[in-house]
Amino acid sequence: MRRKCEVSVIKGKKNEQMVQQAISMIGGMKSIVKKGDIVLIKPNICLPLPPEKGDATDPIVVASLVRLAKAAGASRVVVGESGGWGLYVRDHFEISKIGEYSEKAGAELSYFDEEERIELEIPNGILLKKVSIPKIVKEADVIINVPKMKNNFVSMVTLGIKNFMAFLAPDDRYGIHRGVNGVELAYVLVDLLKVIKPKLTVIDGILAMEGFGPHSGDLIRMGVIVAGKDVVAVDAVASEIMGYQAMEIPTTQIAAKQFLGVGDLSEIVVKGKKIEEVRKHFTRPIFNYISDHPNITTYFGGVCCGCIYRIPETETAIGIDPNKKYALVFGRKVNLPPKIDADEIWLVGDCTAPYRNKYKNTVFVSGCPPLKWYIHAVRLPHWSKKFGREIHTYPVDIEKQTREIIKARQRLSKK
Ligand code: SF4
């Protein structure tokens, strides 16, 4: 008979104590980290946002794990992450406070985007046959996976398996995010799980995100930590806590069917709180966008996650004149009417290039994804002439460039 795996669920208010209890219930850190081990801790810090925004893993949770790993005898504890969408991960570490808290607890930081990478074959990979990963991932004896409990509009949830996305090289990551649906993405992530095996997954469900996650949803105070040695089982329990059925989540189902972990709740022993005691039914990540501005009509279809975020932010980027009518178009398969009643038709993203000659008054913003900064560059062509060559390079300091754009606009409006 197969031995049941254990997942702990702790509810409370003291973050460090909750982490300690969660780990102790599944056998303690010494059952995971041996004397002299190199430990890599992988939080989720996708954007440079402060802890109160609830976007990244709680810094106290990460620091608690650093302390526990060191106390168990780890020779090195490294906290590593990469930046999303062309941003500097150094800013992520600083603004999320994970850098400061981790270093104070005795960890080193690893900026995956700057690290040496190695290639790994994935012999039984379905969509991914080989992968380039930061060298530290291979060097580590123990990987501790510390995701945040959030919805994700592509993969439904972002939990333990989804947290592996950051191990991919930036260009590979963008390529995979673009044009894929949740199931294809799940196959890629499960392929990664075949070569990157965390020995511990601790989900920070203290301040979680429901609705249109992973960045634009609503915060929901759950006050829970979910931990276990089998990432598939941890994801199964966490998604049930969020009001999903475990096997509804593509990554959980695909990983369980390939025998990479346990997704069936009847084979999981939940320790601490019962799922029903802490469950909240998260609002699902359904995208249904209608502009607040009466003079903007938005058309979208076949939009991948690279462009969905651009839809609300394009409105602020184009600089709306209340006396004009605008149409915004996104995606590769848009049902557009033969005539559009608009003074400016903004075609945003490479997918919309075929519509350029269909209407007059079109403004095309190239890019895949077309970052907000690219929209500014189109709006201020003389400015982008000066800096334009930089907009497609990586990494890009978006915040700095945006500040410069604002200054440039202010200067222009005075002329
Ligand atoms: S242009 Fe936008 S919708 Fe099209 S593939 Fe690129 S990111 Fe996705």
Give 87's pLDDT tier (boundaries 50, 70, 90): confident
Mean per-residue pLDDT of the chain = 87
Q: Which residue has the CA at smallest separation from atom 8 of ligand 1?
A: 304
User: Backbone phi, then psi, for 217, in 5-degree steps?
Assistant: -85, -170
Cα angle 73, 77, 82; round to 5: 160
Averaged pLDDT, 252-263: 96
Query: What pLDDT, on a 0 to 100 scale, did the predictor assign at position 3?
Result: 62
- The tens digit of pLDDT for each residue in 332-381 reads 889 899 999 999 999 998 889 889 889 988 888 888 778 777 777 777 65
Is the pLDDT score of 386 beyond 80?
no
Pocket of ligand 1 (CB under 6 A): 178-179, 303-304, 306-307, 331-332, 349-351, 368-369
- The tens digit of pLDDT for each residue in 154-184 reads 889 999 999 999 999 877 776 666 555 678 8
Is this structure's pTM higher than 0.75? yes
Q: Which residue has the CA at smallest separation from atom 6 of ligand 1?
A: 368
Q: Which residue has the CA at smallest separation from atom 1 of ligand 1?
A: 349
Query: What pLDDT, on a 0 to 100 scale, did the predictor assign at position 318?
Result: 83
Q: Which residue has the CA at smallest separation from atom 2 of ligand 1?
A: 307
CA of 147 to the centre of ligand 1 (A): 26
In angstroms, rounded to a whole number, what is the distance separating the alpha carbons of residues 229 and 263?
13
Is the pLDDT score of 243 beyond 90?
yes
CA of 181 to the centre of ligand 1 (A): 12
In angstroms, rounded to a whole number, what is the distance separating the alpha carbons of residues 201 and 160?
6
Could you tell me the residue ranges of all domains in the chain?
Answer: 5-278, 296-414
Token digits of residue 24: 């102790």
In angstroms, rounded to a whole number, what is the distance separating the alpha carbons of residues 171 and 86?
9
In angstroms, rounded to a whole number, what is the distance separating the alpha carbons of residues 241 and 224?
9
CA of 386 to the centre of ligand 1 (A): 26
Q: Which ligand 1 atom minimizes the distance to the CA of 330?
A: 3
For residues 148-171, one letter each, b for 16 or more C-beta atoms within 10 angstroms of the residue's C-beta and e for the rest, the string is: bbbbbbbbbbbbbbbbbbbbbbbe
In angstroms, rounded to a whole number, what is the distance separating the alpha carbons of residues 287 and 304?
11
Specify the CATH number for 5-278; select among 3.40.50.920, 1.10.3720.10, 3.50.50.60, 3.40.50.11440. Answer: 3.40.50.11440
Q: Which residue has the CA at smallest separation from atom 4 of ligand 1?
A: 351
